């Protein structure tokens, strides 16, 4: 039970009214995500999260060196992403999905709220087959569908609303939420830890990513291969993606169990491939010309 007294909050500018708005906004913002089955806190409407992602996209893209100027490559990556995203229907909002290869040596992949998915040239060039690429994109699609970024932004927005003595969480203005949320996204990208996730969120994205991979006809072991590639890089210098997607060793163990228990039928099955040759034909050689740190 919530008890409210008339005692002043000394040393604080937070009013009782603001606290009430925080509590009721938090309660109103709780709902069950159909993709994960988990109750989560999210105050963003679908239109708000889409507009937030679209507005932040140009600035985030610029911070990572812009898009790779290769229409054929962008089309190839987009095709894989859209195929995976097609299997999210009925699991959440309908997003205007987009998939972008960023012209950066940084090893990273991430998703903005509302379906904007990115992979850097630095990560793409370290992959060796299409199933691995599908694993990366599927994982980021999983973050978007599970609305992990929305959860984090919702908490930050409602906290900012209380500190300012306002109620962002209970406002009917999508424009205000977008205005407040975009700097959070862009600022995080500039500091290299765009929407870092906790262990439970990573495991949810892994689970969803593997689900979409299997539905699209990929061998889900491609996801584990990616994790091992990242682990090998961390022995020299931790790639940026591990700052935002932590706990790789524990995630590999969970993924192995998931594939063994639920998707064993995909192993040694020609219907679930890695498609290495198609990947090599579609990704130009210059992508694999990687400048390692210190060289």
95 in Cβ contact with 114 (< 8 Å): yes
Whole domain around residue 139: which residue ranges? 46-149+192-283
Average pLDDT, the chain: 78
| pLDDT band (50, 70, 90) for residue 190 | very low
**Of the candidate ranges 15-19, 205-209, 283-287, 291-295, the one whose mean pLDDT is the lowest:** 15-19
**Domains contained in the chain, number:** 1
Residue 232 lies in a domain: yes
Cα 258 from Cα 168, distance rounded (Å) = 39
For residues 115 and 14, which has the higher predicted lDDT (pLDDT)?
115
Supply the pLDDT for residue 200: 84
Cα 194 from Cα 245, distance rounded (Å) = 10
* pTM, full prediction: 0.78
Angle at 215 between CA 210 and CA 220, to 5 degrees: 35
Residue 178 lies in a domain: no
Return the bridge partners of 36, or none.
none
Summarised one tens digit per residue, pLDDT across range 124-180 is 999 999 999 999 999 999 999 988 777 777 777 666 653 343 334 444 445 555 555
Residue 292 lies in a domain: no
Q: Work out the number of other CB atoms within 10 angstroms of the CB of residue 32.
A: 10
Summarised one tens digit per residue, pLDDT across range 148-158 is 777 777 777 66
Give the residue-averaged pLDDT of 65-81. 98
The CATH number assigned to the domain holding 55 equals 1.10.390
Q: Work out the number of other CB atoms within 10 angstroms of the CB of residue 47.
A: 13
Residue 166 lies in a domain: no
Residue 14 has pLDDT above 70, yes or no: no
So which residues are the catalytic ones? 140
Cα 39 from Cα 116, distance rounded (Å) = 23
Residue 165 lies in a domain: no
Cα 137 from Cα 100, distance rounded (Å) = 10
């Amino acid at each position: 039970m919530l008890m409210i007294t008339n005692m002043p909050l000394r040393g604080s500018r937070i009013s009782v009214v603001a606290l009430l708005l925080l509590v009721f906004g938090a309660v109103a913002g709780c709902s069950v995500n159909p993709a994960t089955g988990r109750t989560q806190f999210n105050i963003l409407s679908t239109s708000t999260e889409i507009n937030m992602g679209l507005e932040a996209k140009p600035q985030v893209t610029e911070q990572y060196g812009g898009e790779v100027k290769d229409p054929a490559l962008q089309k190839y990556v987009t095709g894989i992403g859209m195929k995976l995203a097609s299997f999210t229907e009925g699991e959440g909002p309908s997003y205007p999905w987009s998939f972008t290869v960023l012209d950066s040596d940084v090893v990273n992949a991430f998703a903005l709220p509302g379906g904007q998915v990115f992979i850097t040239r630095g990560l793409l060039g370290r992959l060796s087959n299409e199933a691995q690429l599908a694993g990366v994109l599927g994982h980021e699609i999983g973050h978007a569908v599970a609305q992990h970024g929305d959860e984090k932004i919702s908490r930050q927005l409602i906290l900012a609303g209380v500190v300012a003595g306002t109620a962002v969480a209970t406002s009917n203005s999508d424009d205000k939420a977008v205005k407040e949320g975009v700097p959070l996204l862009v600022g995080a990208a500039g500091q290299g830890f765009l929407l870092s996730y906790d262990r439970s969120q990573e495991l949810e994205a892994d689970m969803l990513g593997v689900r979409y991979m299997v539905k699209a006809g990929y061998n889900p072991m491609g996801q584990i291969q990616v994790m091992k590639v990242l682990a090998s890089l961390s022995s020299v210098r931790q790639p940026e993606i591990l700052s935002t997607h932590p706990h790789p060793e524990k995630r590999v163990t969970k993924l192995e169990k998931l594939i063994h228990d639920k998707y064993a039928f995909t192993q040694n099955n020609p219907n679930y491939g890695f498609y290495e040759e198609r990947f090599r034909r579609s990704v130009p050689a210059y992508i694999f010309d990687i400048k390692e740190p210190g060289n």
